A and B are shown apart, each in its own frame.
Chain A
Amino acid sequence: MTSSDPSVQLDHTPGHIKHDGHNLTGFVIFLCSESIIFLAFFAGFSLFKLTSPEWLPAGVDGLEVKMPLINTIVLVSSSFVAYFAERYLHKGNLWGFRIVWFITMLMGAYFVYGQYVEWSSLKFGLDSGVFGGTFYLLTGFHGLHVITGIGLMGLMLFHSFRPGNYEKGDMGVTSVSLFWHFVDVIWIILFFLIYVWQRY
């Protein structure tokens, strides 16, 4: 950020040396923008749930909550694990970072697997009214984000083996971990909307 105090030095000229700050700013702006898509879907879901005359499709009387709850716990705790991985990196403990980071990835993968098991056990499809549509749209769109997050974490893990990778800062890891927290928060809202709200 440019200061209004003229004596403060710039961090971007001459040349384009230090880009880390720009990247993080840009990434945060991107996440804010991305959250609007989810907000649009949440708004659509809530509106349908409140106004639709036939909410649940015939033969379906609600969703199983136990399995998604375990999934939620795994995903939420993986956010904390990612935080610890970042702490290791800041302390310079590379192997500690790699191992804990990999555990985060595994937890994410378990979440995707859980989703897969749940989806394959369901008796309704994408075309089962607005309930089926919104359910698969929300969980699927979120699932894509989880898979993207795991892919990005894999990339960061791969980069960590390059010599001198962190000489110019660790913006990549910071951004991916921010993305992971974002995906996590979205899931918590989603869980309350889809699974908890159905009881009331």
Chain B
Amino acid sequence: MIGAPDMAFPKLNAAAFWLVPVFAVLLMASFFVPGGPAQAGWWSYPPVSIQNPLGHFFNGQQLWLLAVALSGISSIFGAINFVTTIIRMRAPGMGFFKMPLYCWTAWGAQTIQLIGLPALTGGAIMLLFDLSFGTSFFKPEGGGDPVLYQHFFWFYSHPAVYVMVLPVFGIFSEVFTCYSRKPLFGYKFVALASFGIVFLSLIVWAHHMFYTGTPNWMRILFMFTTMTIAVPTGVKVFAWVATLWRGKLRLTTPMLFCLGGLVNFIFAGITGVMLGTVPIDIHVGNTYFVVAHFHYVIFNAIVLGVFAAVYHWFPKFTGHMYYEGLGKLHFALTFIGCTLNWLPLHWAGLLGMPRRVASYDPEFAIWNVIASVGAFLLGVAAIPFILNMVSSWARGPKAPPNPWGAIGLEWLLPSPPPAENFEDDVPTVLNNPYGYGLDQPQVADEAFYVRRAQEA
């Protein structure tokens, strides 16, 4: 997308990747140590997480913390690599405001990793010391403060959601423009809004702690910052809607997935503003309302966006076209399934069904039955997807270099692209990649690259 032959640090890239099996083994090993694996949930709040009833020095919680620290290091390696590549290795002429939005959002997401992860790692180190070396950072009896851990934890773990959602905003921007044949509305604002989200995401964390004894001024402050994050996201949503408005829509599979994802994202944004409000949050905190909101973002918006990206770039990755009919079936099943799965749980939550329980009161049964039907439907939706991916990759029709008539450096290469992309012959960029219908070339001498890709 930016015309680079490779990442800035290919070896660091490999190191970051191969750390994954290392910490995976470490994490899995925690099932086989005496006392079993970590039992403090993904929050790992003290005091639950610093119990060590059997008294073994090596215990599941400790291995869990080590695995978290290692995965943090791996992600920081990756983030350094992405940011350096984006800053230094763009094609000639590609100023920041001629960059594809996917790169803007990836840049923003990796910036969050660079700022947030070290704080989490610092908290994890302190927790590890409390657990294994007798310090009392989070133990009130030694003068420590368990709430401090929550601050460290949420300082990363709330922005972590933005790490996941930002690249999907990039995918939306690429797909909506391509399939509605219109330039992106307000390109510069959409690009800058990414960093608006990065900045605001770092000052909203305490909204996860409204009911854990935070002082009132802190609640009000973080309610305010949480709500302002709706502004840059709103900028993006309105820009996409304005892009779609009166466009020449083609309802291909990636476009359908993005439209579905956008609708769900708007819904999730509205429940997000509700949850950011202190009185509502204290009422519905730790109920299924929170669970439903979270999954509306993570699955119904992000995973749908990722599916869109898989279909949109599938011909480019593999050199084969996928089967449109199976793709549309996959979309229909996924959209119905995810709506049935998560929409009813909002009501269950508002009625007061607590989360993290093994069983529930009979009055919540109807909502849970609907959710289960939706979950099974999602499982069924995986069948056309896997079938489509495997069979199209194996023997789908051969993909031309640019099957969608899309603008962007990657579409000027044959499908699949050669190992080092443009190698010696990087095109000079003249315009941003959203000039649909404007009759302006994205790069100098575009005809040459188009012809070369077709001949390859």
The answer to whether A and B belong to the same complex is: yes
- Contact size class for A? 35 or more
Shortest C-beta distance, A71 to chain B (Å), equals 24
0/1 string, A1-45, CB within 8 A of B gives 1: 111111011101111100001110110011011111101110010
Cβ-defined contact, B136 with A130, below 8 A = yes
Report the stretch among A49-57, A150-158, A165-173 that lies at the interface: A49-57
Instruction: Report B144-165 residues with CB < 8 Å from chain A CB.
Output: 144-145, 148, 152, 155
Cβ-defined contact, A4 with B8, below 8 A = no
Cβ-defined contact, B121 with A37, below 8 A = yes
0/1 string, B71-101, CB within 8 A of A gives 1: 0000010011101100111111111111000
Cβ-defined contact, B122 with A6, below 8 A = no
Report the stretch among B33-41, B223-231, B233-241, B422-430 that lies at the interface: B422-430
Shortest C-beta distance, B266 to chain A (Å), equals 33
Known: A37-B121, A127-B135. A51 touches B145 (CB 8 A): yes
Contact residues in B for A137 (Cβ distance below 8 Å)? 125-126, 129, 135, 137
Shortest C-beta distance, A49 to chain B (Å), equals 10
0/1 string, A117-136, CB within 8 A of B gives 1: 00000000011011111100
A-B contact count (CB 8 A): 148
Contact residues in B for A4 (Cβ distance below 8 Å)? 93-98
0/1 string, B426-443, CB within 8 A of A gives 1: 101110000000000000
Instruction: Report B1-35 residues with CB < 8 Å from chain A CB.
Output: 4-6, 8-9, 12
Tell me the nearest residue of chain A to B96, going by C-beta.
A4
0/1 string, B402-436, CB within 8 A of A gives 1: 00000000000000000000111010111000000
Known: A2-B92, A16-B5. A33 touches B137 (CB 8 A): no
Known: A48-B145, A130-B136. A10 touches B92 (CB 8 A): yes
Question: Is B350 on the interface with A (CB-CB < 8 A)?
Answer: no
Cβ-defined contact, B119 with A54, below 8 A = no
Cβ-defined contact, B428 with A6, below 8 A = yes
Question: CA separation between A160 and B325, bound complex, in Å?
Answer: 64
Cβ-defined contact, B119 with A37, below 8 A = yes
> By CB atoms of chain A within 10 A, which of B84, B97, B117, B134 has the most?
B84
Contact residues in B for A22 (Cβ distance below 8 Å)? 8-9, 84, 88-89
Question: Is A60 on the interface with B (CB-CB < 8 A)?
Answer: no
Contact residues in A for B12 (Cβ distance below 8 Å)? 26
Contact residues in B for A44 (Cβ distance below 8 Å)? 122, 126, 137, 148, 152
Shortest C-beta distance, A142 to chain B (Å), equals 13
Cβ-defined contact, A14 with B423, below 8 A = yes
Cβ-defined contact, B87 with A25, below 8 A = yes
Shortest C-beta distance, B398 to chain A (Å), equals 29
Shortest C-beta distance, A88 to chain B (Å), equals 29
Shortest C-beta distance, B123 to chain A (Å), equals 7
Cβ-defined contact, B87 with A33, below 8 A = no
Shortest C-beta distance, B276 to chain A (Å), equals 24
Cβ-defined contact, A37 with B122, below 8 A = yes
Question: Of A14, A25, A33, A127, which is within 8 A of B424 by CB?
Answer: A14
Cβ-defined contact, A2 with B88, below 8 A = yes
Question: CA separation between A32 and B97, bound complex, in Å?
Answer: 25
Cβ-defined contact, B84 with A29, below 8 A = yes
Question: CA separation between A76 and B356, bound complex, in Å?
Answer: 53
New A-B pairs, 16, CB < 8 Å, besides A22-B9, A22-B84, A40-B155: A1-B87, A2-B91, A2-B92, A4-B98, A6-B93, A9-B92, A12-B89, A14-B423, A26-B81, A30-B76, A33-B76, A37-B118, A44-B148, A53-B143, A130-B143, A130-B144
Q: Can you report 16 A-B residue pairs in the complex whose CB atoms are below 8 A from each other?
A: A12-B89, A14-B423, A14-B424, A25-B8, A26-B12, A26-B84, A29-B84, A33-B114, A41-B122, A44-B137, A44-B148, A52-B144, A127-B135, A127-B136, A134-B137, A141-B125
CB-CB nearest 10 A-B residue pairs: A4-B95, A40-B122, A6-B93, A133-B135, A36-B118, A127-B134, A2-B90, A14-B424, A37-B118, A52-B143
